[in-house]
Each structure stands twice: as structure tokens, then as C-alpha cells.
Amino acid sequence: MTDIAHPHKIEHVAELLRNATRIAVLTGAGMSAESGIETFRQPQTGLWARYNPMELAHVDALARDPKTVTEWYHWRFSKCADAKPNPGHEALARLQQLKRDAGGDVAVLTQNIDGLHQVGGARDIVELHGSILRWRCQKTGEMRPIREVDFSSFPPTSEAGGVLRPDIVLFGEMLPIDALEAAERAVMSCDVFLTIGTSAVVYPAAGYIDLAISRGVPTVEINPDATPMTGSVSHALRGPSGAVLPELLRRMRD
């Protein structure tokens, strides 16, 4: 179901964005769907419909079977490496630049590990779940870009003999404290909050939506489908972010 053509709703949200100084945006896998990266929870096509997260994305799985887990994330990386930012990423980057030029800001808090916001031109991304583009030695903590990881055997190892793992947050692990603090600051100081392309079921990230709602600032959901938050946000724009965000930008500038 798509109601992006609903003129009053989209016009109203465009006006909210036009008048806002500080905007906080929480993004999820749907943001990259139009770049060809699979989401997690969509029936049939979602990664978790085909793979068991407890065997691949849990910290215990990494300890038990580092070969399978690192091989899977290497395969996931190959998909991200082929992907390009879509018009949604680019529109969000333009919105950030517009607000920064006017002395405000757009803080992008993402659950995505694919790095596409950055390639799309957005800056200072808060990566709540880390990045698949960095891998970390479990023995020394040393971090290295993925292009410097030797994947000739799995699990990849460092010169120090430690397993190299993606610098992402697995189930059972804490989110990086710096990212949590930056996200909270952004949500506590925003005058409009957007939640884009997330099923809003994974905490603590989904908690930022609750936090924004509890502050009483206007909250906007952009998603082709309903989520548990749809009934609680101020405005739900039903449609793909690659279409809705460019349309909002166009109307903001009119």
C-alpha cells in the first residue's frame, strides 16, 4: 500500500521539515532495500526468513563456529560492496546539507552496517550496529578496513593470531557507548524525528522512537508497511524511502 501521493499528508510533513532546525533520523534495512540489499524481517525475502539469526548473528554463534559466522558476513559484505546508494540516501544527504547550511543539523542514526549513507553523501553517521566495512581482531582489538582482511581461509585471522570479525553488533552484545550517547543527544534535542525503513522491533534502537514520541515532538514514519509504531507516530507516510524522501525534498524547496 502506498499513499505517498496523499497530497495533504506529504505537504504537511514537508512543511514540518522546512521549519525544523534539528532533525533526528533513525534508519533501518528498508532504507537500503532499493539499493538491492535484503531486509531482515520481510516474509520470504527477508534474511531472517531464510537464515537463523541465532546461528549467524549471535555472539555465542561466533564463539562456537567462527568459520560459518565470518563466512556469512563476508558473503553479506559482497552484497553491500556491489550496492549503490539509492535516491533515498541521496535525498537524506541533501536534507542534511540544507539544514547545516542554515545553521541546523540532521543527525542520522542508522542500524545499517552497509556504509551507504556515507557513500550517498551524508556526514557524521551514528552507526548503532557498527559497520561491516571494518573488521576487528578479537585478540588485540586492532581494527582494519575490510580490504586489508585476508579471506583466503575462514575465519580470517590477524598476524597476532586472533580471529578477525566484523565490527558490528551481534545479538547478545552491547551497542557502542559513543553511538548510544550521540543518538540520545540527537533525539533529545531534535524538533522533528523521522523513522525510516525499520520494523521498529529491535531495541535499544527502536527505543529512540518511543523517546521522541514521549518528548512530544512531531514524529514521522516512512515505510511501505505498517509497524508497531505506526499508530503512535504523528504522521505515517506509506511508501518506499527512495520515492518518499526525494518527494519531500522537492516539496520542501517549492
As a three-state string, the secondary structure of the chain is CCCCCCHHHHHHHHHHHHHCCEEEEEECHHHHHHHCCCCCCCCCCCHHHHCCHHHHCEHHHHHHCHHHHHHHHHHHHHHHHHCCCCHHHHHHHHHHHHHHHCCCEEEEEECCCCCHHHHCCCCCCEECCEEEEEEEECCCCCEEEHHHCCCCCCCCECCCCCEEEEEECCECCCCCHHHHHHHHHHHHHCCEEEEECCCCCCCCCCHHHHHHHHHCCCEEEECCCCCCCCCCCCEEECCCHHHHHHHHHHHHHC
Is the CB of 156 or the CB of 197 nearer to ligand OAD? 197
The smaller minimum CB distance to ligand OAD, of residues 46 and 246, is found at 46
Residue with the closest Cβ to ligand OAD?
A: 30
**Smallest separation, CB 28 to ligand OAD (Å):** 3
Smallest distance, ligand OAD to C-beta of residue 98, A = 21
Interacting residues toward ligand OAD by CB under 6 A: 28-30, 33-34, 39-42, 46, 53, 57, 111, 129, 169, 171, 197-199, 202, 223-225, 227, 240-242
Rounded Cα distance, 19 and 209, in Å: 20
Q: How far is the CB of 101 from ligand OAD (least distance, A)?
A: 26
Q: Give the nearest distance from C-beta 112 to ligand OAD in angstroms.
A: 7
User: Smaller CB distance to ligand OAD: residue 106 or 205?
Assistant: 205
Q: Which is nearer to ligand OAD, 45 or 140 (CB)?
A: 45
89 is catalytic: no
Active site residues: 129
